Every structure is written in C-alpha cells, then in structure tokens.
Structure 1
C-alpha cells in the first residue's frame, strides 16, 4: 500500500479484544510493507556493520605494504558506502509509508465507527477520549507499527554481528556479547515505570482536553452566570498537572537514554582495553583490533533502535487500548464481529437494498414508524407530534426512531459489553451503575443528593421489573428494534436506515463553511434550497449572514458560517438546521424540539409551512408547543416510557389531565379547559396572524 493509494477501499475488520491485539492486526495488515522495511533495514545495518571489516582489511594491507589489497579495500569501501546510502534512503521511504498508512487505516476505522454510532458515541465514550484517539493516538500507533520492522532488522543484524565476533575473535566476541546482554537487562526493568508515567500523563492530558472542550462548548452560559473564572482556574490546575506528569515522564526517559549512552561507552572502553592488551601480547593483529573495535561501535546503533522501539511501544500501548475500546463499540443489533450490519436475506442473494425502496418492502403490514417498546406509532404520510413529560426521554426516543437506540451501554456512558474489558450494563444507568437517568457522564443534573438517591432507587426498581419481564419472555435484548413498515431498522444496512430515517436532535451542529456548503447534503432533489429556507423562516438569518460576511457580496449562499455557528443565536442555528433537514427530504423525518429557541410568532409560521412542505411524507415532531401540536395530524402522549394516549391536540387537552399539565406547563392543571375548542383555535390563529 502506497500513500498515493489512500484512502483504503476497505480498511478491514480490526481485532479489538485488546490494544496489543489491535497492534498485531495492524502489523499483519501491512505485512508487505513490513517485509520491505525489514529487507532495506537489514541492508542498511549490514552495510554499516561491514565498515569495520573493510577498515580492518585496509589497515592490514597498509601493515603488509600491499597496494593491491589496499585497492580492493577501497573498492569494497565504495560498495559499502553505496549500499548504506541506498538502504537508508529506501528504509526511510518505506518506514514513513508504513507509519502514514497505519495511521490512515486507524483513522478510517474510527471514522466508520463514528458514523455507525452517530449521536450515541459521546454518551458511551468521553469527549476527551474521542479527541485523544482521533488526534495523537493514531500517530503513536503508526509510530509503533513502523518501528517494528526497524527493530526486527536491528535484532537480526545484532545477532549476526555477535556470532561473527565470537567466531572471528572468541575472547573479544564473548566479552562484547556479554556486555550487550547486560545493557539490555539493565534498561528493561526501567521500562514499566516509564510506561506507567507516560500513561498517567496521557490520562491527565485527556481530562484536560475534555475540560477544555466542555468549557468552550458552554462558554456563553458560563459568561452569563459568571463562571468562566471558575472553569479557567480548573483548567489551569489540570494543565499544571499535565505539565508535572510530562516532566516526570521526560526525566525517566532521559535517564534511560543516558544509560543507553553511558553503559555502551563503558563497554567500548572495556573492549578496547582488553583488545589492546591482547595486541601487545601479540595474540591478535592491529587490523583485527580495529575490526573488533568497529564492530562493537556499530552495536551501539542497534541498541538505540531497541530503545526507540521500547519507547514507541510504551507510548502506543495505551493509545491502542483506547482505540480498541472505541472501535469495539457496537450499535444494538449489530454483530460484534463486523463493523457494518450485513444485508438481510429478505430479497434474495442477487438483489440489493435501495434506500428509498425500504418504505415499500413489507406490503400489508402497518405502514409508518413503530416503536414496540413504547407503543408509539407514526402512520405513513402523516405529521405526528409526540409529547413527553421528560425531555431526556424524548431525546432517547427520537434517537431510537432513527435507528440509534440507546442501549444499556449507551445510556450508561460506559463501554459496550462487546468491547474490550466491557462489563454488563443495566438499562438506564450511568457509568458507575448508580441509575442516574438525566444528564451526561461527568455533568451534574442540578439535583441534590436526596433527590438523586430517590431517583436512583426508582430507576433500580424499574430496571429490576424490566429484567424480570425480559427473563420471563426469553428476550436477550433490553428493547426491540424500531420497525419501519414492519422491517426492523437494526436489520437494515446502516446506509439504508440512515437514508430512510433522518433525525435532527435538539442541539444540531452546524459545520463551518459557506451556507451553500452547509446545504449541500444528499437529498431527493424534490425540495429546493429556497423552499427549505422559506419553510424554516430563515429570512432574517440570511440577512445576518450577509451582513457578517463582506466577501459574500450580497449572496447569502456565499456567506460563511463560523465553527458550530457560534456567531448565530440559538434560534437561528435551529432554523438553518431545520432547512438542511428539509432539503434532505427523507422518507421519515424525526425532529426533536426543532423550535425550542424560536419565538412564538416565528414558530407559528414554521408550523404552518412545515405541515405544507412535508404533506404526504412521514414526519415525527417531539415538542410540547401548542403551535406545533395543533398543526399535527395526530398527537401521541408518551408517559412513563409508554404511549399513554393519542388523538388530536384539542381532543387530548380535554380528555387527558396529565397531557394538559405537560402542555400547559401547569402541574396543578387537572380540570378541563373551557369546553369550546374554538377558544384554543382562536388563540392559535391570533398568534399566526401576528
């Protein structure tokens, strides 16, 4: 594999049982490159090792006053020099290729896993760990993979030189071999301590990165409450801890490198002293002494390569473990041995799934989107609004409808049971198993200890009843897959499920770039950009973008959007994200609080235009806004993780007190509103006309 051939058409299926196995798998996948590097490395080091032999022959020729032998030694020196040049050049070329291609393979695997996990990734792995794996870790992994071949070449050459020394000059050869073994045994016990210090440094660096990411993401909120100084102090403290850990690591590696210089020097002095005595006694010739001296000097180079490989492995081992942990995460229903679900056998071996054809695969079955866990049913071609009393429950349900079910491991923020070192998780619990249902790992839910304890106890009781029910039914999974026209989303190829159902969460991300690039998404082509922008009421957003982008020259599509759309307000970001989703025009569109940051007048217009634009298409909106609910063809009220009631918005207002309390934000609202539903209609129409 050459660098020009990247990216890989198929990076393969990694062995994620451990970091060491992942490194072995990477080495096997690049066996051809490793063998090339090994061959060029042996040529380079063997040529280096030949210099002392040629120098000894030249000295012997001078002592014997033989011009022919001296000329032959000169020719041999030229050949060795050419071999060293060619070997060093090609070794560097192949080694760098191995490094970059290994890093690129891991990067592709991480990208594929990120795309497969979707929004559940950051709940299963800390943000700082994801950043560390996708940046510095892949470089260290590539370094280790590349260093293996050079280490192997150094080992083979060292063994060959030692054997030659013992055969050619047994006394000095045995002394040199014993000294090299002693040097290796002296340095090896220090490597575990250096590795532990390097691990501590990386752990603290990951925590500092995560803290920095959280601080930047919540900077606007922190400024609003005056908390930026507190987080800045925390980051300073974390940064100083990283600095202290880095200094401790550097001290240990400096000590190891100092030993690698001092001890070989002492060995060389001992060999020269002993060899000089043998030469004075007439037991060896001067040329032989020069030859042995050069050979021992050469052995210092492989010793440095041994140290470099030890350093690269100690640095890459925890990096590979982190990468294996991320690559080992699986979507519910996905085979742990494959990165992408295989295509089911529903259509025969010669037929393929088509993204939009999935809407018509199961004729005769209930059309639309159905969640067997909650009983939520969104009929095909209709606008269904879903009201949940718990916003977090609404977010989880929205992801389930999109084929991103929050499995046990996903809800806990811990490792998947399929991953390395994973343990069984309980649905609805946090990473520490306490049963917290709200918030993300490492973030406070704003509740006191008593409230959290009560919540944990209720969650554990609920989980116990769920596990008992699952055991009685003989079911292994905590929840079944969502059905699209009777077909489980988990059984579909990932790209088909993603194309059929699109989910926009409550906090959509806007990537930096021009507005045209933001709206350049895979789509059916039936919804134009101007239609989507108009339906999402983005007129003022376009004006703000043009004003903030002088280079756009009045063209909103050329206006640039800053990173994550930070220059825009929350409502403006929501409307641009809604326009992007409408352009995609999926068969099923799931929107989670698409207008939570929009004023009521704009929200009323969005509700009207959204219903028009999505007419005849399946749309699910999670919201408790009466303006959106009144436009829905059907409203489903989800209470305690079950679809408790369904009907129109006005019907539920007068028939379900719990629904009325959620929608009106009045927990005490247990009596019906005025019987005439036109009161609610008049209020809605008044807002629309405004």
Structure 2
C-alpha cells in the first residue's frame, strides 16, 4: 500500500482534471492581479501624464475588463479546487471506513476514537494538499508575471526579484519539517484523547457503579493536558513559520521599494513605472504569504497522510481462503486450540446441538469468543467447520456460518424495526416471532408506535435488559447455522430468563447454538456443558451431572 507521499500524489491523480482546470483559472486570476499595477502605470504614463482623454477612456474600459477576468477566474477556479478537495476528503473517509469495517480486522493497534480522528480530521487535512498545490502554483504564476513586468521596466530590479524570491521560499521551507513533526504529534495526542473520551462515555455507567469515575477523569485530564501541550507546540511552530515568512517578505519588499524610489529620483524610472514597481512590490507580498501558507498546509497534510497511510496499509488480522461451507447444518470442532489464556482446548459442536460453556476466567471467555468469531489468525491448533479448516474458507462464508453475538449489544440510532432487520427485508410476522422468542414483546408493545419506536444511539433509550433482548432477537432473525451467544440474559429477571431459555431452545431447534454463560436456566437446557478452567477443558457433561459432581461448578452457576 502507498505511503504518505503516494497518498498525496494519488489525490492529485484522482482529480487531475479539476485540479488542472482550477490551477489554470487561479493562475489567470493571479496574473490579472499582477497586471493591475502594470495597467495603472501605463494609464498614468500614456493617459494622465499626456492629458489624452481618449486614451483615458479606453484605459478605464481595459481596467474594467481586467477586473472582470480577475473576478471570474477566481470564482470558477476556486470552485474547481474546492470541489476536488471536498471529493478527496469524502474518498479518504470512505477508504478509511472500508478498511476499518473489513471483516478481516486490521493491525493498526488504534482504538475506535483514534480511528474516528483519522477518518475525520486527518482525512480533511490530507485532502488540503490539493488546495495547497492549486494555490501554490497560482502564487508562482503571479510571481512570474510580476518578475517579467519588473524585468521589462528595469533589468536589475527584475533580476533582484528573480533571485530574492527563491531564496525567501528556501528560507521559509526550512521550518516546514519541524511543523510536520509537531503537527503529527498533535494529531496523535488528539486522537488518543478522543479515543479515551469515547471509552469513558461508553462505560460511564459502569465506572459510576464501581466508583472509578474520579480515576477515569484524572486519566482524561492527563491525556487532555498532553494534547493541549502538543497543540501549543504546533501553534508555536506555526507562529514561527508565519513570522519568518512575514518578516523576510517585508524586508525584501522594502528593499525593492527603496531601490525603485532611488531610480525614480535619478530619472531612471518614470512616474508610471515607479507606481508600477511600488504596486508590484506590494502585490508580491500576497503570493509570498500564499506560498508560506501553502507550505504550512503541505506540512500538515504530510503528517495526516502518514496517519492515513498507517490505517490504509495495515495488514489484516486474519486471512481467508476461497472455499465455501456446505449448505445445511454444520459441525464445529476446536482441536488443540491455544490462544492467549486458552491452552490446547478441544471442543466439538454437533449439528443441531445446544452447547453450554462455563468459563471461570473472563479472559478464557474473551479468547474463546475471538477464536470462534474468526478475529484472530495467530492461534495454535485448528478450527474446523464441517471438517474444513477455517483458514481455507472465504471470510464471508465463515461469517455466514458462525454468528457471535457479544454481551455488549450494539444498537444503532433508528427504529426497533431497523435494528432488528439489520437491512434485511423481513415481514412483521417474522419480526414478531423473533421478538417473542427473545421474550421482548413488552419492549415493542409498551410503545404506541410498536416496531417503529425510535431508538437512540447505542440504544441508550432502552434499559440493559431491553437492549439484550432486542440484540438476541436480531441474532435469531439472522438464523445462522451456528449461533454463539455470550451472557444473553444477565440484565433480565429470573422469570424472564427462564422464559428466554425455553423459547431459545425452541427457536434454535435443529440449529447449532453455543451459549457462553453461567445462567442455570440456559445451562439446564443445554445438551452438554463444557467447563473451562485455567485455559483448559476440565469437565464435560450435562448441567445436572456437573452440578451434582463438581462443587466449584455448583458454586459458580447455582444461585
């Protein structure tokens, strides 16, 4: 995948037509602006000084035409440049979203908040490279026109500008690498703070419940302070950059104006030529400032492009093959699987079986779910689906075969219907059947709008139990051959839990289901229960058998 340089040049290639058209028009605008003091000087020498009214009239018409070209070129040229910039910003955001949502995962190590920062502010800043290039080339065109005009008036003055301008640009660019480094550090610090804020908002209720909100707030203050310091360093470098540009430009223009005034006093320049030189000297400060600003934009764009390239070029966490899973019910087998805390785990799931899993350590649960979900590729042992190694299956086929419904249910802003259907075309009867299987009828019936009742972001308008049941109903509607549920009833009362256990068994009849839980109601309905302790499978049997023979199991699940 391309790096930061390739990403920026690729942005120009993708929009070369608009960029080229915009550069031509903006260059015409800058050339017209540079021609204004030249035209005024000619009017003074050929109309005002001579008292020629006809020449003065034509001069006014010419100036009006010049300003018409100037305004039109700016309007349409800037429009093309902005369109290219906005489209590139959208393109980069889509590419980042596509990479983040890739079912194979990514190895960036970035959290959700950091990825959000990359997809928003970094994409916008990287796309500003298009604006920097367009404005920079137009500024150079203005300097070329100004230099040619000065050479035509007086060769030493023109040569002074031609030599002085590159030296000024070279001097100001010496600060650009420092600005790039500080801008990158600022973006990274801001992204870390955004990620931390996202985590804290999502877990605020839990933090309050365990009394850790003050510790969390302290961590956020520390991260925010670091982001502020990075921003101040970037602002200081930006101020230095702009100060160097303004100071050197001012001194250069003062020197040009001084020499021009001396030449006028000695009769080497006419009054009109003096006005032209002074006007061009003042005008040149604008493209010089523009070049400095473009250098600042380029430095920031490089820093953001590097972060974008990190995401877009990240290797996927898991690979996939090309094989498909046979139609119908399938079996799942874990053979000697070792990952994180898991150690040589052997588990078989027969077609149509309801398997309960009890893990005494939450780390074992997380590792098992990650392996079943196909989120990791660096585990030892084999995961077989109908005897086919998981790595030989196409990623879409594996995702269709096994659905892992996590304990932390993700609901989206919209309606209950939209959250349940998840984009599929389902009838009201199908939705009602799944809602009933999840014992969630009260969630729908309590609202006059029923399935069309609005749900706020992350399902915050629903209680924990309501979110769990809506998530369970959505998983049942997906009807995968293998459904893996993680603690689907922890936020409901005992009566509702027993009802869900009975209805879940009926709804998944003939299909394979794994329930990772300590709920006796769900475990009691399981055909078999597998017990994980210290990363090993220590016991297998029915819930009744294990509860009678294993004291540790009995204490863990009976309540």
The 3 A distance-change label for structure 1 pair 599 and 156 is same
Q: Which of 161, 169, 175 pairs up with 1:190? A: 175
Unpaired runs of 5+ residues, structure 1, are: 1-14, 335-340, 347-357, 408-476, 547-551, 667-682
| Structure 1 position 101, deviation (Å) | 0.9
TM-score by length of 2: 0.87
Contact 2:465–2:491 (Cα < 8 Å) also in 1: yes
Q: 1:630 to 1:50 in 2, by over 3 A?
A: same
Indicate yes or no: 2:194 matched with 1:293.
no
Moved more, 643-652 or 30-39: 643-652
Aligned mate of 2:413, from 508, 512, 516: 512
Aligned residues: 549
Where 2:315 maps in the other structure, the secondary structure is: coil
SS in 1 for 2:421: coil
Secondary structure at the counterpart of residue 591 of structure 1? strand
SS in 2 for 1:377: strand
2:155 to 160, 163, 170: 170
Cα deviations across residues 109-158 of structure 1 (Å, max 9, x unaligned)? 1211222147x669931333123112222221222233222223323443
Q: What is the CA deviation profile of residues 617-648 of structure 1, one whole-angstrom value per residue up to 9, with x for unaligned ones?
A: 23222223332223223444455656666554
How far did residue 519 of structure 1 move?
1.6
Q: 1:368 aligns with which of 331, 334, 338?
A: 331
Counterpart contact for 1:367–1:486, Cα < 8 Å = no
In structure 1, the partner of 2:298 is 313
Does 1:561 find its partner at 2:455? yes
- Whether 2:52 is the aligned partner of 1:56: answer no
**Structure 2 unaligned runs (5+)?**
338-344
1:369 and 1:401 in contact (8 A); partners too: no
- Contact 1:61–1:67 at 8 Å: present in 2 too? no
Measured after TM superposition, the shift of residue 375 of structure 1 is 4.0
CA contact (8 A) 1:395 1:592 kept: no
Shift of 1:331: 3.0
Which residue is equivalent to 2:65?
A: 79
Structure 1 residues 255 and 236: CA distance shift in structure 2, 3 A: same
Q: Does the 8 Å CA contact 2:354/2:512 hold for their aligned counterparts? A: yes
Instruction: From the superposition, tell whether residues 232 and 398 of structure 1 become closer, same or farther in structure 2 (CA, over 3 Å).
Output: closer
Give the distance between the partners of 2:313 and 2:181, measured in 1 at CA: 24
Distance 1:279 1:523, change over 3 A: closer
Contact 1:359–1:587 (Cα < 8 Å) also in 2 = no
| Cα distance change, pair 481–626 in 1 and its aligned pair in 2 (3 A) | same
Runs of at least 4 residues off by over 6 Å: none
Cα distance in 2 for partners of 1:305, 1:486 equals 65
Counterpart Cα distance in 1 of 2:20 and 2:346 = 58
Matching residue of 2:366: 395
- Greater strand share, 1 or 2? 2
- Residues 125/82 of structure 1: CA separation in 2 closer, same or farther (3 Å cut): same
After superposition, the Cα gap between the structure-2 partners of 1:111 and 1:284, relative to the gap in structure 1 and judged at 3 Å, is same
TM-score (norm 1): 0.71
For residues 569 and 208 of structure 1, what CA distance do their matches in structure 2 show? 28
CA shift, 1:610, in A, is 0.6
Aligned counterparts of 2:212 and 2:330: Cα–Cα separation in 1: 50
Partner of 1:360, secondary structure, is coil
Of 571, 584, 590, the match for 2:484: 590
How far apart are 1:609 and its partner, in Å?
Answer: 0.6
Match of 2:467 in 1: 573
